[in-house]
Amino acid sequence: MARHQLTHAELEEQLREQLGMLQRAAHAFDAGYRSEAKRMAVSLRNLLHSARNPSLLKRLGRNELDFVDTAAPLDPENLLSQHRLILLQIKEGRVSFGPRLDDGTTVARQAFDDWWSTPVLGDNEKRQLSRADVVLCMADQDGGAHVDGSLRTDYAAFSRSNSLGWTMTSQAGGQQALSIPEGATIRQISHEVLRTLVFGYARSVEDVDLLRQEPEVNGGCVKFPPWGDFYADCHAGMPLIAGAAYSVRFVLGVITAGSVRPVVGGSYGDPVTTPGEHLQTVVAGSEHGCGVYADYTDAVLKEFNWRRSY
């Protein structure tokens, strides 16, 4: 069947649409919706990746541009993990991976092919990922445009096994791996592309902070924002018995991202990702602290109560 060949004007319109989608997904990611990294990955693949078919930028001759590069080269002598596009952010005791954006970066320009293929993530097992690796794995395998039955092992090590090796102590107690580094990496790649292709585009960590709301209590309900991990203490001063089992009931009015888990004496229940009533039994790890731990979730906690199981 004959096919319509897009005109130059139609390709330019496609470019405007892709850049618009990329900016909107980046804005949502900055507000805390980390899964928007997958939408960014799809737009980046459409803009940048050439295989059997040329990328949109290649069709328009824009891949001849020098791309904004905010990553210092990986140090081959460094035995520790390296993450050149992202940084560790500390805010009110919470530590997470975040994009560098325009903060603390030395902006250079690099030819597209080098920019696209240069490693930007490296772990202490000598595994390395380039911008192309992260974008294509997320878009083609990890839920961007397709959910594959398997993932590249090096990408899975970074995204599933915390191969960068950084952990934090959560507000509810216990060690937690930091937020996914590939999402922040995708956000910084998007930032570089937007800086390259959109005149005047700029974004700072301070700009992002202005988007982020704090948890709030209203009418007895707790509203969690999606940009971090938050602990709501529902203990009410009642003592626990370490090693005893407790029945926990909680009701979520809405949840659109992330997960919520009950916490009893520093022991975590199972993560919950659906609204409604939930019942779990949790063995208390200590004598103090009973509540819920919200992990990068946009959720409303409507009710919470607990009692010892006999």
Q: Where are the alpha helices (DSSP H) in the chain?
A: 8-30, 36-48, 56-59, 112-117, 131-140, 153-160, 181-197, 205-211
**Mean pLDDT score, 83-95:** 71
CA atoms of 81 and 83, how far apart (whole Å): 7
CA distances from 37 to 42, 134, 235 (A): 9, 11, 36
pLDDT tops 90 at residue 211: no
**pLDDT band at residue 304, thresholds of 50, 70 and 90?**
very high
Options 3.60.70.12, 1.10.10.10, 2.60.120.260, 3.10.20.30; CATH of 216-308:
2.60.120.260
**Mean pLDDT score, 57-79:** 82
CA atoms of 288 and 299, how far apart (whole Å): 24
CA atoms of 300 and 310, how far apart (whole Å): 30
Residues in the chain: 310
Q: Which two tokens stand for residue 285?
A: 């790890």
Predicted confidence at residue 98, as pLDDT, reads 85
Predicted confidence at residue 144, as pLDDT, reads 85
| pTM of the predicted protein model | 0.84
Comparing 158-172, 208-222, 265-279, which segment has the lowest mean pLDDT?
Answer: 158-172
pLDDT tops 50 at residue 35: yes
CA atoms of 201 and 90, how far apart (whole Å): 25
In percent, the amount of the chain with pLDDT more than 90 equals 52
Q: Please, what is the end-to-end C-alpha distance for the chain in angstroms?
A: 71
pLDDT tops 90 at residue 289: no
**3-state secondary structure (DSSP) of residue 206:** helix
Tens-digit pLDDT profile for residues 100-139: 899 876 778 999 999 999 988 877 777 888 999 999 999 9
142 DSSP assignment: B
Predicted confidence at residue 172, as pLDDT, reads 46
- Contact indicator for 199, 257 with CB cutoff of 8 Å: no
**3-state secondary structure (DSSP) of residue 276:** strand
Predicted confidence at residue 143, as pLDDT, reads 86
Comparison of pLDDT for 92 and 113, the residue scoring more: 113
Tens-digit pLDDT profile for residues 165-190: 555 555 445 545 555 688 999 999 99
Q: Which two tokens stand for residue 211?
A: 């988007």
Tally of CB atoms within 10 A around 286: 14
Comparing 73-77, 175-179, 184-188, 250-254, which segment has the lowest mean pLDDT?
Answer: 175-179
Domain boundaries, the chain: 8-211, 216-308
pLDDT tops 80 at residue 93: no
Predicted confidence at residue 263, as pLDDT, reads 94
Comparing 16-25, 169-178, 198-207, 211-220, which segment has the lowest mean pLDDT?
Answer: 169-178
